Amino acid sequence: MKKILITGSNGLLGQKLVELLTQTTTHQVFATARGENRLPFTNGYEYQSMDITNREQVQEVVEKIKPNVIIHTAAMTNVDQCETEKSACWAQNVSSVEYLVDACEKIDCFLVHVSTDFIFDGKSGPYKEEAEANPISFYGWSKYAAEKIVINSNIRWAIARTVLVYGIAHDMSRTNIILWVKKSLEDGKNIKVVTDQWRTPTLAEDLAKGCTLMAEKEAEGIFNISGKDFLTPYEMAIMTADYFKLDKSLISQADSTTFSQPAKRPPRTGFDLSKSQQVLDYQPVSFMEGIGILAEQISK
């Protein structure tokens, strides 16, 4: 039995991790996030408020709990916001990792750090773990800098890289491509969806599963944890329309130049999952199965 501390437990991945760990394991689970606990259940874990951008608070909480493993999910993930609010992005995505690494070193704690496909330029996806990083956005640079801190540290670590995470959080404040397409088509709206970007979209539950496997095995190194289907957002939209039997004629193809966004997006990422399948026995659902899981959650 391990003591596992989760950062960012109010976020989508954090919520799924707390649920998974409390329901399927006997580990002692500590959920941490900034401010109040937003999870709708309180059994099976302890909640502690912790701001990852506050060095003293991080030291204090980690020292008090003395976890065996920290799964670090908290981050600023809005890519355009990172481009326009660089110092906030750096504080949340880079400085916080320095504080966690220092805290882990003092108590010999294993760190599972969550990273992203946006560390790549997207010229040659799907990527293997050892592919060369070349970020094209500030968000990508911040996540790459955080990886470097982890890799060059003296602690035992794992990095879970992921791609386009979708799922349903309890407060429903976050939307995702499936919910957006479903709602737009139900409202009879015409939508434009890009055909020149490729991803391996990841169900939040699968990412939580991958992080849990890494935490339990204390498997060291970098692991690709994403979905297995290599798709464009346009294909994702069509599959969503098919699943919910909605009018596909409302969906039109566009290329990314039609959208003006502050941050550049890598065109072709996605991941090769061979390593995580072999080493961790990580088995993600298909995108179609993922839509089904979301549909079931919405109907509850």
Cβ 208 vs Cβ 24: under 8 Å? no
Q: Is 149 a member of any domain?
A: yes
C-alpha to C-alpha distance for 174 and 169, rounded to whole angstroms: 7
Whether 221 maps to a domain, the answer reads yes
Domain-embedded: residue 255: no
Residue 41's SS3 state is coil
Quick: pLDDT tens for 109-130: 999 999 999 999 999 999 999 9
pTM (2 decimals)? 0.97
Instruction: Summarize pLDDT for 226-267 with one digit per residue, the tens.
Output: 999 999 999 999 999 999 999 999 999 999 998 889 999 999
The residue-averaged pLDDT of 13-32 equals: 96
Handedness of CA 71, 74, 77, 83 (dihedral sign): negative
State residue 175's pLDDT score: 82
Across the range 191-216, mean pLDDT stands at 98
Could you please report the per-residue DSSP string of 106-174? HHT-EEEEEEEGGGS-SSSPSBPTTSPP---SHHHHHHHHHHHHHHTSSS-EEEEEE-SEE---TT---
Residue 253 domain-assigned (yes or no): no
Asked whether the predicted pLDDT for residue 33 surpasses 70, the reply is yes
Using alpha carbons only, give the angle 294, 162, 7 rounded to the nearest 5 degrees: 85
- Look at residue 119 and tell me if it is in a domain: yes
The residues facing 127 across adjacent strands are 271
d(CA 246, CA 93): 39
Q: Would the CA dihedral through 267, 137, 78, 164 be positive or negative?
A: positive
Count of domains forming the chain: 1
**Residue 288, CA atoms < 13 Å, CB-side half-sphere:** 4
Is residue 179 assigned to a domain? no
Can you give the CATH number for the domain in which 13 is found? 3.40.50.720
Q: Is residue 178 situated within a structural domain?
A: no
Strands 157-162 and 221-224: parallel
pLDDT in tens, 41-91: 999 999 999 999 999 999 999 999 999 999 999 999 999 999 999 999 999
**12 dihedral zone (left: phi>0; alpha: psi -120 to 50; beta):** alpha
* Residue 195 covered by a domain: no
Domain that holds residue 98: 3-168+201-228+271-284
